[in-house]
Amino acid sequence: MTVKVRFAPSPTGKIHVGNVRTALMNVLFARKAGGRFVLRIDDTDLERSTKAFEDGIRADLSWLGLNWDDSFSQSARFERYAEAAEQLKAAGRLYACYETEDELERKRKLQMAQGLPPVYDRAALKLTDAEKAKLEAEGRKPHWRFKLTGAVVEWDDLVRGPTPIDTSSLSDPILVREDGSYLYTLPSVVDDIDANITHIIRGEDHVTNSGAQIEIFEALGGKAPAMGHHPLLIGADGGKLSKRLGTLSIEGLREEGVEPMAILSLLAKIGTSDPVEPRHSIDALVADFDLGKLSRAPARFDPEELNRLNARLLHETPYAAVKDRLAALGADGGEGFWNIARANIERLPQAADWMAVVSGEIAPVVEEADYLAQAAEALPAGALTAASWGEWTNALKEATGRKGRALFLPLRLALTGRPHGPEMADLLPLIGREKALKRLRGETA
What count of other Cβ atoms lies within 10 Å of the Cβ of residue 156?
11
Which residues face 145 on adjacent strands?
Answer: 95, 174
Among 16, 31, 202, 342, binds ligand GLU (CB under 6 A): 202
Task: Number of residues interacting with ligand GLU: please give it, by CB under 6 A.
Answer: 8
Which of 66/415 has CB closer to ligand GLU?
A: 66
Cα-Cα-Cα-Cα dihedral sign, residues 409, 410, 412, 418: positive
The piece of 7-15, 87-95, 281-289, 295-303 that touches ligand GLU (CB under 6 A) is 7-15
Least gap, CB of 184 to ligand GLU (angstroms): 6
- If one asks whether residue 227 binds ligand GLU (CB under 6 A), the answer comes out as no
Among 4, 5, 9, 99, binds ligand GLU (CB under 6 A): 9
Q: Is 23 in the site for ligand GLU (CB under 6 A)?
A: no
Q: Which is nearer to ligand GLU, 39 or 430 (CB)?
A: 39
Binding part of the chain for ligand GLU, among 8-16, 224-232, 295-303, 387-395 by CB under 6 A, reads 8-16
Q: Which is nearer to ligand GLU, 9 or 417 (CB)?
A: 9
Q: Is 188 in the site for ligand GLU (CB under 6 A)?
A: yes
The interface region with ligand GLU, picked from 5-13, 327-335, 370-378, 435-443 by CB under 6 A, is 5-13
Does 26 sit near ligand GLU (CB under 6 A)?
Answer: no
Instruction: Look at the alpha carbons of 415, 418, 419, 423 in this order and tell me if their dihedral is positive or negative.
Output: negative
Q: Nearest approach, Cβ of 113 to ligand GLU (angstroms)? A: 32
Which span sits near ligand GLU by CB under 6 A: 6-14, 48-56, 256-264, 424-432? 6-14
Of 197 and 362, CB closest to ligand GLU: 197
Q: Are strands 161-166 and 152-157 parallel, antiparallel or unpaired?
A: antiparallel
By CB under 6 A, name the one of 8, 248, 267, 436 that touches ligand GLU.
Answer: 8
Task: Estimate the crossing angle of helix 207-219 against helix 185-194, to 10 degrees.
Answer: 60
Q: Can you tell me which of 63, 78, 184, 319 binds ligand GLU, judged by CB under 6 A?
A: 184
Least distance CB 203 / ligand GLU (angstroms) = 7
Distance CA 148, CA 93 (A): 8
Cβ closest to ligand GLU, residue 176 vs residue 436 = 176
Any contact of residue 74 with ligand GLU (CB under 6 A)? no
Shortest reach from residue 210's CB to ligand GLU, in Å: 9
Q: How far apart are CA 213 and CA 81, in angstroms?
A: 14
Which of 20, 21, 25, 42 touches ligand GLU (CB under 6 A)?
42
Taking the complex as a whole, the smallest distance from the CB of residue 39 to ligand GLU amounts, in Å, to 11
| Residues binding ligand GLU (CB under 6 A) | 8-10, 42, 184, 188, 202, 206
